[in-house]
Structure 1
Amino acid sequence: MAAPVARDQELELHVDSLAFGGNGVARLNGFVVFVRRGLPGDTVRARVTKVKRSHAEAIAVEVVEPSVKRVEAPCAHYPACGGCRFQDLAYDAQLEAKQEQVREALRRIGGIAEPPVEPIVPAESQFFYRNKLEYSFTATPAGPALGFHRAGRWDEVLEIEKCWLTTDLGNAIRGAVRDWAREERLDAYDQAEHTGYLRHLVVREGRNTGQVLGQLVTAAGERFDRDQFVEVLRRFPEVRSIHWAVNETPAEVTNLPTTLLWGEEAIEEQLCGLRFRVRPNAFLQTNTAMAERLYEIAGEFAALTGGETVYDLYCGIGTIGLSLASRALTVWGVEVSEESVACALENADLNGISNAAFFAGETADALAELHERAGDPDVIVVDPPRAGLSNKAVRRLGRLEAPRIVYVSCNPTTLAGNVKELAASWGYTLERVRPVDMFPHTPHVESVSLLT
């Protein structure tokens, strides 16, 4: 049966809800249309951009009748900037949508008729919450500028004057680097033409320590004065670490080997009463306050009594495992990033924790060797990337038959698929799921689940 709509056709649609990923969900005589920039309760005129047999995609070109849930976005760059999607949606409606997305994924993909989803934990701060931002350089008539990609565009960067996700300090550092680039007459990299020099600026803040790490990413060659760049950043007393990385590939990446230009190799952050050293490429949740809430929930679900062997899989710099160590017999962490493992080992020493060990390796491949070393796990904590657990990882996890699995997820669809497989093939039951809003005004939602 042919789809009832055609590409470039304009339709008047009523948006019922938000799909995971952030598009509005509308229906035309039962046929689903995903509407970019459509919010729940809106009536919009939308232009169809893609048609498939099961659904269509469209973009709202006019809000015919706005939803009562619409609010005024505070950021001058919204909605052109791709950094936020929902500044114009009331925060309680964002929370409602995210909680429902977790529930719906578990129902539709996980096959659970009544998922045990608990009330979502709201963010402590709706704005200025990020501890890390990656800015792209762009060319303007006034010279190089820094900002984010325009919404939906890979080849256009929008200059940002004030970002509502970072701090005043973060905004000031970005402005100072922009002024330096102009004074030095350096040119911004053009992603479409693959020409130019300045590519990215990464700013990481220890929100509980006040320490800052800055990283400049350029194309090949050293075409700037190191001392001048260091002097610009050292005007901010919070800056403790300054790095430079070179990207010779077309890909827009910042996770690269770095050269230390000045200061310490890493900065420190404090989480859950522990100290953590954070290097340029080490993974750390980008909302410090909510990371602490996330780890507290993981600890609650783990329900440790002091005698347990805990596996911490996809352990990063050891944040979750080390926060559990005082309540466990032993903690064993596995992480693919060698730099993160080095940080985890360093962080264990920094906090005087002697019952935690960390190893580098692909989780699915490392589990057999880990089991030989550590013995049977009582609790397994997993915090996989957005793609979730691979089929091999699920199989090897299931074979361990741990009494409790605590699953920290950043993607409800892959969580649901993993939960379904763990239930069908390995006899696990999903006992609890608590969504956590780490990233207000974005489509992303975290959750912590307990399987037994």
Structure 2
Amino acid sequence: MLTLPHCEYFEAGRCRSCVLIETPYPTQLSAKERRCRELLPQVPESLWLPSVAGGTADFRNKAKLVVGGWAGRVTLGILGPDGEGIDLRDCLIQEPGIRDAIPHLGAFLEETGLPPYDVPRKRGELKFVHVTLAPSGELMLRFVVRTQQALQTLRKALPRLLVRVPQASVVSVNLLPEHKAVLEGEREELLLGSSLEMELGDVSLHLRPQSFFQTNTTVARALYAQAAEWAAREQPESIWDLYCGVGGFALHCAAPPVRSGAGSSAPPRVLGVEISESAVESARRSAADAGIDAEFVAADATAYALSAPAASIPHTVIVNPPRRGIGPELAAWLEAAPAQRVIYSSCNPESLARDLAAMPSWGVLSARVFDMFPHTRHLEVMVLLERRG
């Protein structure tokens, strides 16, 4: 579907998050492709695969909603320049399952009587509601509040919440007592369930309330499938997935259908490294559910790689860093390491270009744009690298 959604919020100037929503979608995608090609001039046009489109509406699997308004009459959306809440509950980029749930969440929060947090005056309780939708239709709901009292109110009101939002399979409350512009605090209390199962074909990933996951499920499937295809070409004996998160790349590269399709008689030894212990626990559970023999370690990716014995370094390394990129230390390690393939997935082509410039021994075999974030200038780009000579 390439028809742009008619967004009344944008037209009225109430929300400008989707800065490109009035730009024809093919034009948006072409601009992202052009940006990547200009930043990566060493990649010939023939090596760029067709881009993966992200859709124009109904594509976002997670909503991070600011709670505004006042007790008994809340807004769910964003804050305006004056710190007042702007209601965006009908935002058309959210998947329909999220849009359907938001009015019921609003009614539930109004029933609790808890006051929304007033940013200018630094008072109130309710700060955010995070809503994540699985392909099954199940929801993970996460309430970010300021005090223990609000936590207890929500705990007591859980039965009423489940009447209004029966699709909820995971519910948690995060405490953020500080008056600062962050999305979450350190303390997380589970009220229901433990993880949301994201079914992605051959592998399902378990997400906990604090887990990171790509916000576009359809594009995430394509991203993981592309990495698995690239990894399987040489049937490597070993793979490392650095910055592995909940294990998406590692588990897809080790999944049985990929192995059999590549004609390999034995699966690769797969190791994922991620600094978040919660994400590592989720990855281990997903591996166990899928019957995949994979190892996951809670550690800093760069520190782990730099301290690894030379004999343990794998044939293929996957990196999926945050926006800052892998940085000079890990780039230098990859430049000198005996690995033969690197799959680099980046949400920032500028940092990708810097990192590749620091790795002159590696050449690009293939590249692809994944439009994870339609109507914005953000994107995901992935390259397959081979050691030269």
User: The TM-score by the shorter chain falls in which range?
Assistant: 0.7 to 0.9
Aligned with 2:287: secondary structure? helix
Residue 174 of structure 1: which of 95, 102, 105 is its match? 102
For 2:227, the equivalent position in structure 1 comes to 298
Q: Is the 8 A contact 1:149 1:158 kept in 2?
A: yes
How far apart are residue 169 of structure 1 and its match? 2.6
1:256 is displaced (CA, Å) by 3.9
What amino acid sits opposite 1:285 in the alignment?
Q
Find the structure with the greater CA-based Rg: 1
Distance in 2, matches of 1:88 and 1:230, equals 42
Cα offsets for 1:160-186 (capped at 9, x unmatched): 130112133312322122222323332
CA contact 2:370–2:380 (8 Å) conserved in 1: yes
- Report how far residue 248 of structure 1 moved: 1.2
CA distance in 1, matches of 2:317, 2:352: 15
Q: In the alignment, does 2:8 pair up with 1:76? A: yes
- Structure 1: distance between partners of 2:185 and 2:226: 29
Structure 1 segments unaligned to the other structure (5+ residues): 1-70
Deviation digits for residues 26-76 of structure 1 (CA, Å, limit 9, x no counterpart): xxxxxxxxxxxxxxxxxxxxxxxxxxxxxxxxxxxxxxxxxxxxx975122
The counterpart of 1:393, out of the listed 298, 321, 330, is: 330
CA contact (8 A) 1:147 1:160 kept: yes
TM-score normalised to structure 1 length? 0.76
Question: Counterpart in 1 of 2:88?
Answer: 160
Choose the corresponding residue for 1:145, options 68, 71, 75.
75
Query: C-alpha displacement at 1:311, in angstroms?
Result: 0.8
- What residue in structure 1 maps to residue 264 of structure 2? none
For structure 2, the residue ranges without an aligned partner over 5 or more in a row are 260-266
Q: Which has the higher strand share?
A: 1
Aligned partner (choices 48, 53, 56) of residue 118 of structure 1: 48
Shift of 1:205: 1.0
2:62 to 121, 129, 132: 132
Query: What is the rounded CA distance, in whole Å, between the counterparts of 2:305 and 2:321 in structure 1?
Result: 14
Q: 1:74 to 1:333 in 2, by over 3 A?
A: same
Taking structure 2 as the reference length, the TM-score comes to 0.88
Name the structure 1 match of 2:383: 449
Judging changes above 3 Å, is the alpha-carbon distance between structure 1 residues 289 and 239 closer, same or farther for their aligned structure 2 residues?
A: same
Where do 1:426-441 residues align within 5 Å? 427-441=361-375
1:364-383 aligned at under 5 Å gives the runs 364-371=302-309, 375-383=312-320
Please state how far the C-alpha of 1:140 moved relative to its aligned partner. 5.8
User: Does the C-alpha gap of structure 1 residues 141 and 322 become closer, same or farther in structure 2, counting only changes over 3 Å?
Assistant: closer
CA contact (8 A) 2:54 2:371 kept: no
Output the CA distance in 2 between the equivalents of 1:404 and 1:126. Answer: 34
**C-alpha separation in 1, matches of 2:137 and 2:4:** 31
Q: 1:342 to 1:277 in 2, by over 3 A?
A: same
Structure 2 letter corresponding to 1:280: P
Q: 1:271 aligns with which of 200, 204, 207?
A: 200
Aligned to 1:333: 272
Percentage identity across paired residues of the two chains: 28
Equivalent residue in structure 1 for 2:183, among 249, 253, 258: 253
Q: Given that residues 255 and 281 in structure 1 are in contact (C-alpha distance below 8 angstroms), is that contact kept between their aligned partners in structure 2?
A: no
The 1:141–1:248 alpha-carbon spacing in structure 2 relative to 1, beyond 3 Å, is closer
Separation (CA, whole Å) in 2 of partners of 1:134 and 1:376? 39
> Structure 2: which amino acid aligns with 1:365?
A
Give, as a single letter, the amino acid of the residue that structure 2 aligns with 1:222. Answer: Q
| In 1: Cα distance, 2:185 partner to 2:367 partner | 32
Offset from partner CA, 1:244-288 (integer Å, 9 cap, x none): 1110122321364311122x1111111131122111011111111
Higher relative contact order (CA 8 A, sep 6+): 2
Quote the residue 1:357 is aligned against: 295
Amino acid at match of 2:349: P
The structure that is helix-richer by fraction is 2
Give a deviation string over 1:94-120, Cα, whole Å, max 9, x none.
11011011112224xxxx385666154
Aligned residue for 1:429, secondary structure, equals: strand
